[in-house]
Structure 1
Amino acid sequence: MPTSNVPDGVRGSHLHRGAAEGFGADADRYDRSRPVTPRAVADAVLGYLAGDARLGEAAPAGSSGPDGTDVAAGSTGGDGPPAPVRLLDVGMGTGLSTLPFQAAGAEVLGVEADERMAAVARGRGLDVEVARFEDWDPAGRRFDAVVSGMTWHWVDPVAGAAQAARVLRDQGVLALFWHAADLPLTLRTALHALYSREMAGTPGAGMYAPGIMAADGYEAMLDRAEAGLSEAGGFGRPQRWRHVWERRYTVEEWLDQVPTSGGFGLLPAHVQQAVLDGVRSALEHDEAVTGGAFTVRHTTVLLAVRRTR
């Protein structure tokens, strides 16, 4: 994928990592308000690792992965049962992306740049090391899969791909994904007007732009990642996949997650308050909100690729 297809603001997003590393200022809010990755996403990645021809399409019964392992299994370890998949979660955060992989039986290690986020992950029993992924020392460890949920845009796309190639076993899988939220149309229109007015001149001003599905907007993230993979080398042909799911939010739950958007904490206090007040007003007066709650259509966009050398 040519780098020229990637918008400038997306191509250089890793240069603004300070915004991401501010999430830890309220790690508990982030953990309670952001969605957990659906199990279907983990199943698609683990199935692809185990030999599915395409993401989200189950391999024929009795088939095995490229190295002879069974579905969702790591190395066979001789005649004994297969070992768990060894999985590295880049930008683990508080563990929201890790949980479905762990539930599927994977053995997970996280790398997280913010100690405050890592502390929350450790509190739920996850193993995490604090470092920027590009600078992290794997100490000779190798993994069956490297995943990154909602974080790869904060990683240098070339250096990150090169690091992933170093730590993956042959035919191991790198999987990168983002969750895009599409609000009901009336809410989207009202919030776009609010963000354009209150956050003019910031990246957030373009949120909820009319006529653009959120998942389509996230394709630029996949383009950026694919360009980095191509430049770094060592990977095969990437595959893309989408998974649609829904979550119902109360007004208070949606307001709770607004401050977790990248860069929100860098806004002046009066702008933050104006945005929160405006969002509350829009929610309380919109016909899509019934009984104090509304449904959001999420689409997980996923790119997965095998390490080939």
Structure 2
Amino acid sequence: MRGTATGVANRITTTSGSAERIPLGDQSVDATICLQAWHWVEPEQATNECDRVLKQNGMMGMAWHTWDRTSSWVQALAAIVEPDGTPADQTLSVPGEFVERGAFERKEFPFNHELTVEQLVQLASSWSFVAQRSDRNVVLAKIRDLGEKAESLHTGLVRFPHITATFRLKQPVRGVVG
């Protein structure tokens, strides 16, 4: 049946590759999208690959999740895990490699990640800026204490507000694919 999950799944093809070596032909895709991962790629090679595989006037999209720091408990969490202050916000603009490619449209989508206190502690233990600290166990204990204070009496869950910032290439610069 057209439009069902099965129908869509039958039209999807997967292949292994990387941002630096996309196993697709030149000008073969309508869009490239990178979600929460650009910091893992070699930017110059990945940018060249996006340019190579995108069709003329193809769409480029990127997105990052970040904490919603307007929440007082998120500010308290940040004070625990970011002793040197808040890191640069990568959600404010596209990576430098894309600045001259054209106008990007930016849109934010707020969402709440709801976790048990134990899930919050497990999540925090996976953050490299926590996992690599010499006082890791002390930091995780502080996060557990904070989570217990922030958890809902009704659900037992901690509401961890986030914002997903998305970018879409709105108007490519003439002569540049993407």
User: What's the TM-score, normalizing by structure 1?
Assistant: 0.45
Change (3 A) 1:254 1:149: same
Asked which structure has the greater RCO (Cα within 8 Å, sep 6+), the reply is 2
**Paired residues for 1:105-124 under 5 Å:** 105=8
Q: Is the 8 A contact 1:146 1:164 kept in 2?
A: yes
- Residue 259 of structure 1 pairs with residue 125 of structure 2: yes
Distance 1:178 1:290 in 2: 27
Q: Which residue of 2 aligns with 1:140?
A: 25
**Equivalent residue in structure 2 for 1:129, among 4, 10, 16:** 16
Structure 2 residue runs of 5 or longer lacking an equivalent are none
Q: Is residue 2:124 matched to residue 1:238? A: no
Equivalent runs, 1:1-309 vs 2, <5 Å: 105=8, 127=14, 129=16, 131=18, 133-134=19-20, 136-138=21-23, 140=25, 142-182=28-68, 185-196=71-82, 200=83, 205-207=84-86, 217-220=89-92, 222-223=93-94, 225=95, 227-230=96-99, 235-268=101-134, 271-284=135-148, 286=149, 288-291=150-153, 292-305=156-169, 308-309=176-177
Mark the CA change 1:160 to 1:260 in structure 2 (over 3 Å): closer, same or farther: same
What is the identity, as a one-letter code, of the residue corresponding to 2:124? V
For 2:6 and 2:42, how far apart are their aligned partners in 1? 29
| Cα deviation code 1:113-154 (max 9, x no counterpart) | xxxxxxxxxxxxxx35254x22x1525262221111111133
Distance (Å, rounded) in 2 between the aligned partners of 1:184 and 1:241: 18
- Among all aligned residue pairs of Structure 1 and Structure 2, give the percentage whose two residues are the same amino acid: 22
SS state at 1:160 partner? helix
Per-residue deviation, 1:298: 2.1
Write out the 4+ residue segments of structure 1 that deviate beyond 3 Å after TM superposition: 102-109, 156-159, 183-186, 262-268, 306-309
Alpha carbons of 1:297 and 1:190: their partners in 2 closer, same or farther (altered >3 Å)? Answer: closer
